[in-house]
Amino acid sequence: MRIVDVINKKKHGESLSKAEIDFFIEGYTKGEIPDYQASALLMAIYFKGMEAQEIADLTDAMVRSGDQVDLSRIEGIKVDKHSTGGVGDKISLIVIPLVASVGVPVAKMSGRGLGHTGGTIDKLEAIEGFKVELSNEDFINNVNQYKMAIVGQSGNLTPADKKLYALRDVTGTIDSIPLIASSIMSKKIAAGTDAIVLDVKVGSGAFMKSLDDARELAKTMVAIGNSLNRKTVAVITNMDQPLGHEVGNANEIQEAIEVLSGHGAEDETEVALTIASYMAVLGGAFKNIEQARKHFEALIASGEAIEILKKFVQIQGGNPEVISNPELLPKASKHIEVKADLEGYVAGFDAEKIGISAMMLGAGRRKKEDAIDFAAGITLKKKIGEHVNLGDVLCVLHTNADDTTEAERMARTAFVVSNHHPGEVKYIYEIIE
């Protein structure tokens, strides 16, 4: 078999066989197929697309390119969730203790933030002592005993995806649904869980800007999961503005505490309860979503949910007192108010600009090697639909950085103020099962 024949076949819009896809992934991972030929095939896929079976075969080949996590020693149906990335997205922090509380094992591998999107692992490291590196034995024991554990991604999972993603980044082939879907799902399947709930973000702060594209990605990923024997559901959620009011690391931990204490913002509470409910149903704890949701609402109202979050922090070496007293979290030395220069309603948001501004303040990374300031971040004082008077505070920047000029400008231009009320904001657009 020759790679040039595979390239020509896809160039003419034909479907690739499993053998041809395996040949490409294996050859490229081993370095036997050069970047220039891999780039040609990626571009052919970008323009000609892939059939459902091709995408499933591509995902499977990437899974088999490296290690696969064996969670067979964990009892029950292991359920994971994955977000396609957004601003102020602290949903994992909320759903892990909720889902674990009903006996559904959550064995979560999570990544770090890069660019304008934050990583769950970075947020948790804002808690004094919290360990995100666990031995495989401790990870499995924690899930069996407490039904919850989280670790940073490590080992040789999906090396083909790592190589291909780097190549896509420099060849203009990032925004291809088959390539995005297979990249995300290969990592989730290699992580070894039985069922997956996908939080597919759409809007100005998400990778998918249009609902049609988000729906296509969601349907593609659900089809991949189901074809590879993973029960998969996708929830398409609004990312036209940051979730909740906090963007950063320590301040997002504080906001997750508020949700589990029953005082959270409406948007993130709605998204978290929906995702937790689907996870619990896939895990077999409830027969339907309504039943699961009512249980979780009661758990939060009773005060039990926050106690489970404390336990989660404690079993991974963190200081549980932080949950009772968020003042123990890292604090910034500067708090800069960004004020409105127009009167009207917040009619829209460039959520990505808020994410980039937070990154500039120290809350995120430009490069993988950059250090994070856990205290840095942004508190939103106004969100879509709220009235703004001249001079009202739109948001507050928290930082230890010396120069904040560009971050302030970026945050100010993220707000769209208009004379017209924008109408009701939807938090969840669609569920794909």
Tell me the DSSP string of 273-310.
HHHHHHHHHHTTS-SSHHHHHHHHHHHHHHTHHHHHHH
29 closest CA partner among 167, 175, 154, 225: 167
418 closest CA partner among 348, 344, 350: 344
- Rounded to whole angstroms, the maximal C-alpha distance in the chain is 68
Phi and psi at residue 123, in whole multiples of 5°?
A: -60, -45
Phi and psi at residue 194, in whole multiples of 5°?
A: -90, -30
For the question of residue 2 being annotated catalytic, the response is no
C-alpha to C-alpha distance for 428 and 351, rounded to whole angstroms:
17
CA distances in angstroms from 414 to 349, 351, 382, 405, listed in the order given: 5, 7, 12, 15
Among 81, 112, 163, 168, which one carries the catalytic annotation? 168
Taking the CB of residue 201, how many other CB atoms lie within 10 A of it? 25
Among 187, 295, 310, 365, which one carries the catalytic annotation? 187
For the question of residue 82 being annotated catalytic, the response is yes
Buried-exposed string 26-57: b where 16+ CB fall within 10 A, e elsewhere: ebbbeeebeeebbbbbbbbbbeeebeeebbbb
Among 10, 82, 231, 398, which one carries the catalytic annotation? 82
Query: Which ranges constitute the DSSP H helices of 316-394?
Result: 321-324, 351-358
Among 57, 161, 194, 240, which one carries the catalytic annotation? 161
CA distances in angstroms from 41 to 30, 46, 49, 197, listed in the order given: 17, 9, 11, 30
| Three-state SS at 80 | strand
CB 152 within 8 A of CB 111: yes
- CA-CA-CA-CA dihedral for 384, 386, 388, 394, to nearest 10: -50
C-alpha to C-alpha distance for 117 and 107, rounded to whole angstroms:
22
For the question of residue 183 being annotated catalytic, the response is yes
For the question of residue 162 being annotated catalytic, the response is no
Task: Report the DSSP pairing between strands 377-380 and 231-238.
Answer: unpaired
For the question of residue 335 being annotated catalytic, the response is no
C-alpha to C-alpha distance for 245 and 237, rounded to whole angstroms:
16
Among 65, 101, 183, 357, which one carries the catalytic annotation? 183
C-alpha to C-alpha distance for 425 and 103, rounded to whole angstroms:
34
Output the six-digit token pair for 335. Answer: 């708090």
Catalogue the active-site residues: 82, 161, 168, 183, 187
